[in-house]
Amino acid sequence: MKSFRIDWSAYVFVVPAVLILGLANIYPIIRLLTLGFQETDVLSNVSHWVGFANFSALSHDAIFWKSARNTILYSLGVVPGILILSLALAFACQPMSPRFQRFARAALYLPGVVSIIVTGMVWTRIYDPQFGILNRLLSAVGVQGPAWLGDEHWALLAVSLMAIASGLGTPFILLATAMNGLPKEYHEVAEIEGAGAVHRFFLVTLPLIRPTLLYLVIILTIGSFQAFAAIFVMTEGGPNSATFTAVYLVYEEAFRYFDFGRAAALSVVLMATLTLLALGQFKWLATEVEY
């Protein structure tokens, strides 16, 4: 029987990286957890324990519940919107030539390269109620466009549409690559059996790219729950808190009201929610795919 010997010298090279990751990731999480149970005086830099007072205050805060509602609505609009459009575009590009597919990947990925701050500023001009191109196009067909970012009934939808339009690049590339990597024999057999293109997509393609879909669902959900920069640029949480999201509320509590304990408590709630969502999505979508 062959014996194995562990070369402990390899761990000498791993330890520095582990220590750096621990300082950069683990310590901030621990500090966040402890800060959520404290009240901090910014002027004197003195903290004292208040137990669950910060969490209790959040549960009675109407803005907290409104931000939670807005975050859920934003996520329910952005995640399915990006996935459905990316799937449709990736599927439509499959019969195209490799040159066209490369062009489509570059064209869709390009908006993701631009800073979200710049993207938000551009879309703010697009949504301008008087001079924006969107309302001009609507008026050309006889429709009076709303004050998109200035109307509390439309503001969250407007930000969501911006996130969908600018977030298609990476999902499209991953889905198109996953589809191109599938064995052609499965589609040929399904075609021989009489399955059309749509049936082949739902019965063959979707089950085989399920691991990619799982990854995208989890990543997009986390990203949608962390929406901040575009909202900060486009609406600053308004109008009437219509675009207040969880992370924007963390920013308000920490850097406008300097209530770091309450901001930390909200961050803990957000982290726990995302963890539970990721575990639930993984259990729902995870499967072994072999081909």
Check whether 165 has a pLDDT greater than 70: yes
Looking at the chain, which runs of residues are DSSP E strands? Answer: 38-41, 46-49
The answer to whether residues 175 and 216 touch, using CB atoms and an 8 Å cutoff, is: yes
Residues 59-103: pLDDT tens digits?
A: 889 999 999 999 999 999 999 999 999 999 998 888 888 888 888
Helix orientation angle between 210-225 and 260-285, rounded to the nearest 10 degrees: 170
For residues 6 and 209, which has the higher predicted lDDT (pLDDT)? 209
CATH number of 76's domain: 1.10.3720.10
The dihedral built from the CA positions of residue 101, 205, 172 and 197, taken in this order, carries a sign that is positive
**C-alpha to C-alpha distances, 192 to 101, 181, 195, nearest whole angstrom:** 27, 21, 7
**Which two structure tokens, joined as six digits, stand for 97?**
């030539």
Which residue has tokens 């014996």?
A: 3
**Residue 104: which H helix or E strand, with range?**
helix 98-113
Q: Is residue 8 part of a domain?
A: no
Check whether 289 has a pLDDT greater than 70: no
Q: For residue 3, what pLDDT is reported?
A: 62
Question: What integer is the mean pLDDT of 153-182?
Answer: 92
Average pLDDT across the chain, whole number: 88
Q: For residue 217, what pLDDT is reported?
A: 92
Q: Is residue 162 part of a domain?
A: yes
Domain count for the chain: 1
**pTM confidence score:** 0.88
**Which two structure tokens, joined as six digits, stand for 160?**
């969501």
**Which two structure tokens, joined as six digits, stand for 92?**
């439509």
- Burial class, 210, CB count within 10 angstroms (exposed 0-12 / middle 13-18 / buried 19+): middle
Pick the closest to residue 36 from 260, 271, 281, 285 (CA basis): 260
Most distant pair of Cα atoms in the chain: their distance: 83
Question: What integer is the mean pLDDT of 138-157?
Answer: 92
What is the CA angle 159-163-165, rounded to 5? 115
Confidence of residue 44 (pLDDT cuts 50, 70, 90): low
Q: Is residue 197 part of a domain?
A: yes
Confidence of residue 2 (pLDDT cuts 50, 70, 90): low
Q: Is residue 9 part of a domain?
A: no
Q: For residue 202, what pLDDT is reported?
A: 85
Looking at the chain, the whole-number percentage of residues with pLDDT higher than 90 is 46
Confidence of residue 171 (pLDDT cuts 50, 70, 90): very high
Q: Is residue 150 part of a domain?
A: yes
**Residue 103: which H helix or E strand, with range?**
helix 98-113
Q: What is the 3-state secondary structure (H, E, C) of 142-158?
A: CCCCCCHHHCCCCHHHH
Domain range for 214: 53-285
Check whether 52 has a pLDDT greater than 80: yes
Q: Is residue 132 classed as helix, strand or coil in its secondary structure?
A: coil
Q: Is residue 24 part of a domain?
A: no
Q: Is residue 17 part of a domain?
A: no
Q: Is residue 167 part of a domain?
A: yes
Cα–Cα distance between 286 and 269 in angstroms, integer? 25
**Which two structure tokens, joined as six digits, stand for 191?**
């075609």
